[in-house]
Amino acid sequence: MNAWIIAVGSELLTPFRVDTNSLLITDRLNAIGFKVSQKSVVGDDADSLATLLTRALASVDLVVCTGGLGPTADDVTRDAVSRALGVPLDLDAEILAGIEARFVRRGMVMSAINRRQALVPYGAVVLENVNGTAPGLWLEPTLSVQGRLVLLPGPPREMTPMLEALVRERLAPLTGGGGLFRRVLKITGRSESDVDAVAQPIYGPWRARPVPIETTILAVFGQVELHLTAAAGSRADAHEALDAAVGELVAGLGPSVYSVDGRTLEAVVGDLLRASGATVAAAESCTGGLVMSRLTDVPGSSDYVEGGVVCYSNRSKTEWVGVPDALIAEHGAVSEPVARAMAEGVRHRAGSTIGIGVTGIAGPGGGTPDKPVGTVCIAVLMHDDVRVRTVRLIGNREQVKYQSAQAALNLLRLMLLKCL
């Protein structure tokens, strides 16, 4: 079954606020088998909302509308519903009494404008609001309106318990327990088009399987994500299908898949470090401490992070991790020999089992024809094994920093996995 979520409120059309209610609503609807096919945001304007409601109700099974149920003239949802459905608004004496009682309990007198909140479109079922004055409203399909419509207040504290009750009591019985179940694969070290060239032939046929799986590919800086969504009649069927699907993708994409369970790259590396009993130290130039900062974002990272050095200047490379002046003079600060010397020096000084060295040009200045902005040399030293890589990254300064840290953590991961 399909759903359309509408958020009402002019403040949601400014540069300052996004509609986040729809994320929770999507989660709850997906879990019982509704797919969200569209989301809309409209201002406090009854005409636009009425037009939108009419269209949405004609095209999906369920419309969830949040906001615009307050007492002020800005709150137009009730009026818009009345117009869209062609039904009158009636004053509900019970709601009115409830709102008045709520004011009395708080030692206040109800304003006349609060009477608006007791207006109910003809045929609507009232949903109790335990945390506020605006009741929710539920409208079943009619001869002329195909979709179900639910109206919820905008404040999350009021909306959430009403949504939970609605899902449990009215929506779950419509779908019979099946739903959408998800997995996310995170991949690094490959481009989006490269990942898709491998993955598409694998996931392409999944839509036609008994438990159909939809796949979305998403590129963000330094990584690619594959989002798998299975539509199944039961949780067990979904998990079986998803386990098989994840297995096929991992077999195809190999160790470039670093996470199938939501973990970040730094958490994956942390778990590998802990499992191997290793400790790590990093000497960072262009990443400016980001490798260490990401490693230490993980709770418990003090078990395997020894420390590190940000050696931004040549002096600090020499002073803290003993990179010879002559090496810098001969090869330049951004070079594989210097990255390697940084990894060796920091491991020695920190007394760790693993050393990382990162040196590069984050930009926007500092590039040369030989070594343009985005040139980054990475060395990882583990036991007797040392791997050195030079990567060419694109993006602004922060993006080059992030991708450099990603490449360094990934090189460490592949070495810990003995995949290099």
Near a second copy in 364-403, by CB under 8 A: 364-366, 392, 394-399, 401
* Contact window for a second copy (CB under 8 A) among 32-40, 118-126, 205-213, 324-332: 32-40
- Interface with a second copy, residue 157, by CB under 8 A: yes
Least separation in angstroms between CB 38 and a second copy:
5
Q: Which of residues 259-278 bind a second copy (CB under 8 A)?
A: none
* Contact window for a second copy (CB under 8 A) among 72-80, 165-173, 233-241, 247-255: 72-80
Question: What DSSP string runs through 175-211?
Answer: HTT-EEEEEEEEE-SS-HHHHHHHHHHHHGGGGGSSS
The two structure tokens encoding residue 197: 């060239």
**Near a second copy by CB under 8 A: residue from 20, 142, 146, 368:** 20
Cα–Cα–Cα angle for 60, 62, 64, rounded to 5 degrees: 120
- Interface with a second copy, residue 222, by CB under 8 A: no
**Near a second copy by CB under 8 A: residue from 175, 259, 276, 296:** 296
Handedness of CA 192, 266, 298, 405 (dihedral sign): negative
Nearer to a second copy, 157 or 235 (CB): 157
The two structure tokens encoding residue 230: 């299975």
- Interface with a second copy, residue 318, by CB under 8 A: no
Nearer to a second copy, 88 or 201 (CB): 201
What's the rounded Cα separation, in Å, for the pair 161 and 261? 29
Q: Which of residues 112-141 bind a second copy (CB under 8 A)?
A: 113-114, 131
Q: Which of residues 177-196 bind a second copy (CB under 8 A)?
A: 182, 191-194, 196
The two structure tokens encoding residue 295: 């490693």
For the chain, how long is the longest CA-to-CA vector? Answer: 88
Closest CA to 6 of 45, 131, 14, 32: 45
**Near a second copy by CB under 8 A: residue from 54, 55, 276, 389:** 55
Nearer to a second copy, 87 or 167 (CB): 167
What distance lies between CA 265 and its chain's CA centroid?
A: 15
Beta pairing partners, 230: 181, 213
* Contact window for a second copy (CB under 8 A) among 167-175, 215-223, 240-248, 406-414: 215-223
What's the rounded Cα separation, in Å, for the pair 239 and 414? 28
